[in-house]
Chains A and B, each alone.
Chain A
Amino acid sequence: MQARITLEDVAALARGCAVLGTGGGGDVRPGAIAARRAIREHGEVPLVSLDELPGDALVLPLSGIGAPTVSHEMIHGEDEPVRIAEEVERIFGRPPAAVMSSEIGGGNGVAPVAWAARLGLPLLDADAMGRAFPEVQMVSMYVAGIPADLVVMADVAGNVVTIRPVDGLWSERIARAVCVAAGSSALMADYVLTARECAGAVIEGTVSRAIAVGRATEGAADPLAALTAELGAVRLLTGKLADLDRRTTGGFARGTATVEGTGDDRGRTLTLEIQNENLVALEDGRVRAMVPDLITVVDTQTATAVQTEALRYGQRVTVLAWPCDPLWRTPKGLETAGPRAFGYDLDYLPVEKIA
């Protein structure tokens, strides 16, 4: 593992986070811009592993929540992480020792570099998803049974809101309402943990993994092969995007994308079911990969991840799928973020068995 995140690492981290975003998680560019700016201003960010932190050190999992269109226009202020850290210090009687990304996939994987730099804290090489998920309770801490009893939120206007929810579902419900009142964008610390509690309750190594994934395609003669190898992914299909059906319901961007095989895959068709993230991949009615395993659409030439909103007819793409963290394959993990949690009447089968 590398010891620091430098200015030069940000681009690779952003590319990797986009791949781990499985189509969702928000645009990585604003986070990358903020991260570069913060590193220039406050210096490089130490990247620490869990065993480097004392057991009682406080880990601050941070994420931005809200509508992507809003966060693209109403960019975060500089001081939201400071206000959250101050509130956490008031509550615990000691300051946080490290920042953690709540969601490595998408923009929330990159922006924590900026927040850590602003706070002068190291970034923990871990996150709470190992990918992107749409809902607040879909985090490893919830699966590990850590009570969701504290959420601290800060908005652009300077308000700080502390929530003491009775469980993860309430946490999601109240945090969402606060976010709306704050103009549909806020910064949030969910589950403030000690390093001791983190063990087994966070997904370790995901920041360095994202950087490695981003680096894999740099200068590669065959970026797609390099990415596939780095991820340990199955190539489900290479083809072109032939159909796209988008609809926004219940606040989520849902849709179905159809990829028609080209070259060696000619004659085959893959269908992706999307709810912000790519959740299920079907071929001839047979499931070839499903959530919580990761399914990402990449540009066949450059192996750059294509986000759900950027999908367009005619794009030459390859669909990759690879296994999620084992935590998501436990009964509680599947109950939280398995196919049924997204309304698909499917029994989960691991991608390596069905792809």
Chain B
Amino acid sequence: MSASLRVGIDVGGTNTDAVVLDDDDRVLATAKRPTSPDVTEGLRAALDAVLAGLPDPRLVTRVMLGTTHATNAILERRALGRVAVLRLGAPATTSVPPLSEWPDDLRDTVAAGTAIVRGGYFVDGSEIAPLDEDAVRRFVAGTPADAVAVTGVFSPASADQENRVAEIIRAEIGDVPVSLSHEIGSLGLLERENAAVLNAALYGVARDVTAALREALEARGLEVETYFAQNDGTLMAVGYAARYPVLTIGSGPANSLRGAAYLSGVADAIVADVGGTSTDLGVLVGGFPRESAAAVEIGGVATNFRMPDILSIALGGGTIVGAEPRSVGYRIGAEALVFGGSTPTMTDAAVAAGRGVVGTHPVPGEWRDRLERAVRAADEAVADAVDRVALGRSRPGRADRPLVAVGGGAFLLAERVPGAREVIRPEHAEVANAVGAAIALASGRIETIIPAAGGGSARTRLIDNAKEEAAARAVAAGADPESVQIVELSEIPLSYLPEPAVRLHVKAAGPLARLAG
């Protein structure tokens, strides 16, 4: 057996964490370094630190990266490509043109031009209008851009026109990258269009990150496959991530939940990730993060991504007692009382309460009462948050799930938390997010509209098709074709339609395919 190692890296707001796992998913080395403003520098530092702990770094065959590069690029309007934004839907949809609700500066940075051409589909799959291919040609020829985003009405259910536009663009202007909305988002035209445009604007960022990572790895003598973590806690092979960079946004919370599941060995749990400024609570269902139903805004733009359902409370190791939600952040090593500083923090409060041994100085006696009150208030806030995310399963007699405490500040949490069966503190909990990146599966998902139950054999065939397509997308993302499984299948009834119909959502996932050789 050839020993092969994996490196998981997670770039967080405060720290960049890295871990090395062996073939049996054992944690061999961990490292935590401050996240640098340019992200890449902190990433290199964490990588160096974790590789330094290995006898032979060349045994590393895979690197999994969860990064905030894309999020930062959008928030800072930096390194974004210019996008030709094409919608297929006229004469429908013209009351709200593309990018209508975007912040002005982001629109100015990203938009090379917009057009709504004749096309799109009705809910039943018939065409609103035949695709106006000439208008598509005129638009792309007259709109020089780094990428094109194409969004057709009801494309998640009927994708032919979007695919046809991709062919036209290839024939017309060659190799410019194209974002097709049906590959990126679900029903909800404006949100899906926004996601497709952001995706197209991020191609350059994806190229830069991939190149920087490859360069860093090559400089350290590593020849590896690289993967990117995405917002649902699964991985994309680097080639796939290059096409769907927007899906890397929000991978941090998902990684931490998946890492908590792996480290604790528990598949159904509440997870609290306690960081420097906040505690993020989420729920694991069958080993995957429970997803949020609400729309997600990125840089002021509404999208319909499914993100982990996270409740954040202002409780972190650096949270200043009496000045919540402010935090001393990375200055904790100088400012906290236990480090000889003069700012009372939640770390001091937890130390005073006997929950951990941290720092170099004892907690001064005059602070004890205030810190004790702060711990009680924090415990109440955690119990309340647990109750909220537990969705009614936290009451006495029903508190059947454990709380898995991870993150650098996990020692802040009490031994017992109301609403949780027990509190589990797994080993390596401080780098759970990087572990989550390293152990993640590859996945694919699809969403479409099918007849409701009673729809007969056509319905069965449509469900089977959707499962096959989801599995094919998982394989394209890097999953082993032999072991891809359908991990999620949900139907949401649609109201006011003539024929009873449901929105079908299918997700497939599987372990990464074996590497050749």
Contacts and interface: CB of A to CB of B under 8 A. Distances in A.
Nearest to B93: A75
Interface string A204-239: 000000000000000000000000000000000000
B390 A74 contact: no
Given A156-B128, A314-B390, A75 B96 contact: yes
A74 B122 contact: yes
B488 to A, nearest CB: 18
B457 interface: no
Contacts of A313: 391-392
B37 to A, nearest CB: 34
B392 A34 contact: no
Contact of A248 (B189, B387, B500): B500
B189 A242 contact: no
A28 interface: no
Q: A72, A157, A248, A310: which has the most chain B beta carbons within 10 Å?
A: A248
A74 B153 contact: yes
B95 interface: yes
Nearest to B156: A73
Contacts of B498: 180, 184
A131 interface: no
Contacts of A278: none
Nearest to A38: B95
Interface stretch (A62-70, A98-106, A192-200, A345-353): A62-70
A252 B493 CA distance: 10
Contact of A77 (B91, B101, B154): B91
Question: Contact residue range for chain A?
Answer: 35 or more
A157 B92 CA distance: 7
Most chain A CB atoms below 10 A, which of B293, B390, B497 = B497
A70 B499 CA distance: 13
A297 to B, nearest CB: 16
Contact of A183 (B95, B128, B189): B128
A180 B389 CA distance: 39
A156 B94 CA distance: 9
Interface in B154-201: 154, 187-190
B128 A251 contact: no
Interface residues of B, number: 40
B101 A36 contact: yes
Contact of A276 (B93, B96, B190, B495): B495
B90 A77 contact: yes
Contacts of A89: none
Interface string A80-119: 0000000000000000000000000000000000100010
B75 interface: no
Contacts of A288: none
B388 interface: yes
A37 interface: yes
A72 B189 contact: yes
B377 interface: no
Interface of A is mostly: mixed
Interface in A114-151: 114, 118
Interface in B487-512: 493-498, 500, 503
Interface in A28-76: 30, 33-34, 36-38, 66-70, 72-76
Contacts of A78: 94-95
Nearest to B388: A314
Contacts of B101: 33, 36
A311 B498 CA distance: 25
Contacts of B503: 69
B290 to A, nearest CB: 11
A316 B94 CA distance: 38
B198 to A, nearest CB: 17
A253 B497 CA distance: 11
B93 A252 contact: no
Contacts of B120: 74
A4 interface: no
A79 interface: yes
B91 A184 contact: no
Contact of A156 (B92, B293, B452): B92
B189 A67 contact: no
B88 to A, nearest CB: 12
Interface centre among A37, A38, A247, A314 (most CB of B within 10 A): A314
A186 to B, nearest CB: 11
B433 to A, nearest CB: 25
Nearest to B154: A73
B392 A242 contact: yes
B96 A30 contact: yes
29 contacts: A33-B190, A36-B100, A36-B101, A38-B95, A67-B496, A68-B495, A69-B123, A69-B187, A69-B494, A70-B497, A73-B153, A73-B187, A74-B89, A74-B153, A75-B93, A76-B92, A76-B93, A79-B91, A156-B92, A158-B91, A180-B497, A183-B123, A184-B123, A246-B493, A247-B493, A248-B493, A251-B496, A253-B495, A314-B392
Complex A-B, nearest 5 residue pairs according to Cβ-Cβ distance, in ascending order = A156-B92, A248-B493, A313-B391, A67-B496, A183-B122
Given A77-B94, A248-B452, 19 more contacts: A30-B190, A36-B100, A38-B95, A67-B496, A69-B494, A70-B497, A73-B187, A73-B189, A74-B120, A74-B128, A74-B154, A75-B92, A77-B93, A156-B93, A183-B124, A184-B497, A276-B495, A312-B391, A314-B390
